[in-house]
Structure formats: C-alpha cells, structure tokens
Structure 1
C-alpha cells in the first residue's frame, strides 16, 4: 500500500457517567485506524455511555460507539473510504458499499447511534446533511444537541 499523507483532525472520547458528561482528547492514531479508536474507547471503564467523535481533514466525521454487542458506527460520508483508511475501515465494518456518485454525501452506518442519548436519527441526518459545515462544526452541533457542548468546546480549544 502506498504511503499516505498525514491525517489531520481530532478524536474526542465522550463519557456520560452519574449524569455528567466528560470529554477527553483521543490519540491521533485513531484518525487512521478504526480498530485503534475502538480499542481506546473500550479501555475507558465506565458504567455509562462511551463513544468517540472523530473529525478527519475537514472532510468527514465518524461516530464510534462500542458496546458488549459490537460496535455502532456512523460515517458521515461513505465516499471518504476512497481516500482515508479510517473511512475504509468503517465501510468494511459496516459491510457497506462505497457510493459510485462521490459528488453527493452518503452517510453509512447507524444514524440512531446516539438516539438513546437524545439525538434521534432524523435529527442526526439533518446534521450530516449540513454539507456546508466542516466536520468539527457538525460534531459541535451533535455535542450541543446531546448536552455536552461546553465540555466538547473546551477539549477542542485545548487541541487548537
């Protein structure tokens, strides 16, 4: 496989425990490898919700939510699998196809990945469809809607 350009972006681990949200930066390795993201999230010990929000190269985002039953994933743009290992890993995990029409945004995966936390699939679809926004802006909308917007912003400010 050809050497790839460095991937830019961020990963944020989100934890809800005892009614409180906590956000922590993830290792940059998660931007190139879905297994690294899942492993890092599974290592977080919590009785509450644990998931990751990853934004890659101002191109797409991924929501990763491991559970004992498996891993729920939402890839905001399936066509990103043509250029990014993380997106290709997500497509493989989902057993999905890369769309032939790469001019439109086609999400892949579970739009209801955060439904139990207050973000139903139709609302997440609206956020995914906001193609004029960068992935970090879309994820900030997710964070605001679910209720950890301030914590998410603090982590992004530290990463900047």
Structure 2
C-alpha cells in the first residue's frame, strides 16, 4: 500500500456581507476532497457572496462557489487531476476528462466568470491563471486584490 504524502497549502473561505469582506481558514481536509470543501463552505451561513480559495501544494488552485444549483468551480490547471484527487473531483463534477499523461501544457477548467459579479471578469481571471511563473498563493493574492479583499486575505495567510 502506497503512503500518500500530506497535501500542503491552504483553504480559505471568503464571505462578503453588508459590503465588508471576511476571510477565514477552512479545515485542511478541504484541500484533499472537493466534497469536504463544499461542505465546509455550506456551513457559512451568509446572505452575501461566499466562496473558497484553495491553494494546493504550490501546484494549482481551485475556486469553489456554492450555489443551490451546485457548485461553480474553477481549476487553474486541468493536468493536476492526474496527481491530485481534489483536482480529479473538480473535473468529475464538471464532466471533463482529465488530460493525457503526455500533455504538459497548463490550462484552466471550469467557470472563468466565477467571480465576475465581484469585480473580476473572466478574461482578467484567465490572465491571472495564465501566469504560470507565479505560485498559486500569489495568483490567489491577485484575485483577492482585484475583488477588493486583498488586505484581509494577506492578513489571514500571515496567520496560517
């Protein structure tokens, strides 16, 4: 039986209520299972926008936005599904086949408009995802800045 390496990174819940942003840490289990992330986010009773930002092993990120119709999802690198269960779960929910083992290009899969109503249009998010020289936490910091919760996000990451 293979011993799995622990997954590193962070999972952050972001909530906007009454015009104010709040960031909080999610259970680390949210980094390994999409269902765990969705369940954790579902516990955040909020009348405003709420979503999760997951940075996994300095390799890729996932944005999860629960809704009554099912979660909106964005995976920054579809090829991550070859090595990470959570990325494979995202592709499964999106009904997208994982890429071939030989394909080493990076492309996002999911809803690039996932945060458009919060000030981050799809084309801009696509540019951030395309910054392959940046680590996922740096990309998510750009997302946070663009949506207006950069300082709250940075403060939480400093505490983690």
TMscore range, shorter length: over 0.9
The number of aligned residues is 159
Counterpart for residue 105 of structure 2: 104
Q: What does 1:100-139 align with in structure 2 at a 5 Å threshold?
A: 100=100, 102-139=103-140
- Whether 1:42 and 2:3 are equivalent positions in the alignment is no
TM-score by length of structure 2 reads: 0.97
Counterpart for residue 158 of structure 2: 157
Distance in 2, Cα, partners of 1:67 & 1:151: 23
C-alpha spacing 1:137/1:86, structure 2 compared with 1 (3 Å): same
Structure 2 segments unaligned to the other structure (5+ residues): none
Distance in 2, Cα, partners of 1:141 & 1:92: 27
Task: Tell me the CA shift for residue 20 of structure 1.
Answer: 0.3
Distance in 1, Cα, partners of 2:89 & 2:4: 15
Question: Which secondary structure does the structure 2 equivalent of 1:22 belong to?
Answer: strand
Contact 1:79 1:105 in 2 (8 A): yes
Task: Tell me the CA shift for residue 2 of structure 1.
Answer: 4.2
Distance in 1, Cα, partners of 2:105 & 2:77: 9
Task: Tell me the CA shift for residue 98 of structure 1.
Answer: 1.4
Question: Which secondary structure does the structure 2 equivalent of 1:48 belong to?
Answer: coil
Distance in 2, Cα, partners of 1:58 & 1:102: 20
Distance in 2, Cα, partners of 1:116 & 1:37: 22
C-alpha RMSD of the superposition: 1.0
TM-score by length of structure 1 reads: 0.97
Question: Which secondary structure does the structure 2 equivalent of 1:152 belong to?
Answer: helix
Question: Which secondary structure does the structure 2 equivalent of 1:131 belong to?
Answer: coil
Q: What does 1:11-160 align with in structure 2 at a 5 Å threshold?
A: 11-100=11-100, 102-159=103-160
Structure 1 segments unaligned to the other structure (5+ residues): none
Distance in 1, Cα, partners of 2:71 & 2:2: 28
